[in-house]
Each structure stands twice: as C-alpha cells, then as structure tokens.
Amino acid sequence: MEKYLSLSGNHSSNKRSLEGLSAFGSLEELILDNNLLGNDLVLPGLPRLHTLTLNKNITDLESLLDHLAEVTPALEYLSLLGNVACPNELISLEKDEEDYKRYRCFVLHKLPNLKFLDARKVTRKEREEALVRGSFMKVVKPKASSDHVEAPPEHPYTPLPSASRDLTNHRGVLGKCRYVYYGKNSEGNRFIRDDQL
C-alpha cells in the first residue's frame, strides 16, 4: 500500500487528470507541485491524506478549499506557495504581509484542522482569529465589465526627457530653466535692500 506519492513537474499539453488517485485509498502524503492543474482540480476521496502540496497550480482559492474540506478530512499540512491565490510580496509587488495574513485566516477558517500552512506552523492566535473573522477575509475582486474596457496608455508617464529614454544612447540631456520670484517676502528678495536695486 502506497502512503507517499510525488507527481511534481508533470506538465503536459493534454488535460491533466487525477482519476487514478482513487486506487490509492491509503495515501497519506501527496505532492502535486508545478503541474499547472488549474481551478478545475478534482481529487478523489482520500480519507487518510494528511499532507498535500499544490505549489504553483491554482488561482481560485475558495473552490479549492471547499473541495479539500470535502475529500481530505484528515488534512493537517497544506502548501499553496507560488499560486496566484496565495498572496506573496516576492511574486507580486501589489501584495504585502497583511494580504498574506488575511489569506492564512481565510484558509484556516475553511480548513480548521490544519497544523501547518505554507511551511509555517499554525499558531493558536491565528486559529482563534480564523474562528472569529475568517469568513470575512475572503478577497473579492470586482468583475471586469465587458462594456467599458480601458486601453492601456500608449506611452506611460516618465519623469525623464524623451532624449534620455534610449538605453543605447548615453548622451547627457541639457535643458534651460528660469526661476522667477514674486513678492517682497520671497526667498530671493529677503536680503536685498532698496539702495541695491
């Protein structure tokens, strides 16, 4: 009886199917990293599975967590690193530590038996927060309207003059600037006396 199975890095252009896993009813550890499985992932019932890694696979977190709660009741160790659904400031500049905390809280709300999430131990404080606030930590994104789609700007703003944008052209750029001071209390007129005018 197999208790450990690793199917990492099995990319293929064909549709990926995990139907064969139903033959491994006593499976306890399953590694499916970097398989591009997508959001339509369907696992068979694996009642003894306690460790699952799905790094670099999915984008829809909620449907995955609902599915895992149903088919893996003994799950204690879960890793979702590298997925779009797992916010990480190293992968996306728009994400920060607060996004990751909300993500952990939501996952623990859906899967309260987890002991480790993404190689970090689940703390008592996280578990308590998940009980109280976990259902509110779901990140909801507005759906893009098909009626009004903004076209990206042709040339994004740059503070540099256009002559300095060419990386192969290393010339300096020279420009003129004239400063004019108005008013008797301006910085330029402070030390000028009437007889010096």
Q: What range defines the domain where residue 59 resides? A: 4-136
For residue 135, the model assigns a pLDDT of 81
Lowest mean pLDDT: which of 23-27, 104-108, 132-136, 154-158? 154-158
For residue 37, the model assigns a pLDDT of 80
Establish if 160 belongs to a structural domain: no
For residue 82, the model assigns a pLDDT of 84
Q: Would the pLDDT of 18 be above 90? A: no
Instruction: Tell me which amino acid residue 152 is.
Output: P
Higher pLDDT, 22 or 179: 22
Q: Would the pLDDT of 173 be above 90? A: no
**Are 14 and 38 contacting, i.e. CB atoms less than 8 angstroms apart?**
no
DSSP 69-109: HHH-TT--EEE-TT-TTS--TTT-TT--HHHHHHHHHHHHH
Establish if 174 belongs to a structural domain: no
Average pLDDT over residues 184-194: 60
Establish if 177 belongs to a structural domain: no
Three-class secondary structure of residue 65 per DSSP: helix
Lowest mean pLDDT: which of 44-53, 76-85, 175-184? 175-184
- CA–CA dist 110, 68 (Å, integer): 9
Q: Would the pLDDT of 117 be above 90? A: yes
What is the value of pTM for the model shown? 0.65
Q: Would the pLDDT of 73 be above 60? A: yes
**Are 74 and 49 contacting, i.e. CB atoms less than 8 angstroms apart?**
yes
**Are 34 and 55 contacting, i.e. CB atoms less than 8 angstroms apart?**
yes
Q: With pLDDT > 70 as the criterion, what percentage of the chain qualifies?
A: 64
Average pLDDT over residues 13-21: 62
Query: Residue 78's Cα: distance from chain center in Å?
Result: 16
Establish if 33 belongs to a structural domain: yes
Domain count, the chain: 1
Q: Would the pLDDT of 58 be above 70? A: yes
Q: How high does pLDDT run on average in the chain?
A: 76
Establish if 37 belongs to a structural domain: yes
Contacts with 58 (C-beta within 8 Å, 6 or more apart), sequence order: 37, 38, 39, 41, 64, 80, 83, 84, 85
Establish if 169 belongs to a structural domain: no
DSSP 173-196: ----------STTSGGGTT--GGG
For residue 188, the model assigns a pLDDT of 56
For residue 17, the model assigns a pLDDT of 62
For residue 12, the model assigns a pLDDT of 47
Establish if 159 belongs to a structural domain: no
Establish if 168 belongs to a structural domain: no
The CATH number of residue 55's host domain is 3.80.10.10
Lowest mean pLDDT: which of 82-96, 108-122, 161-175, 182-196? 161-175
For residue 153, the model assigns a pLDDT of 58
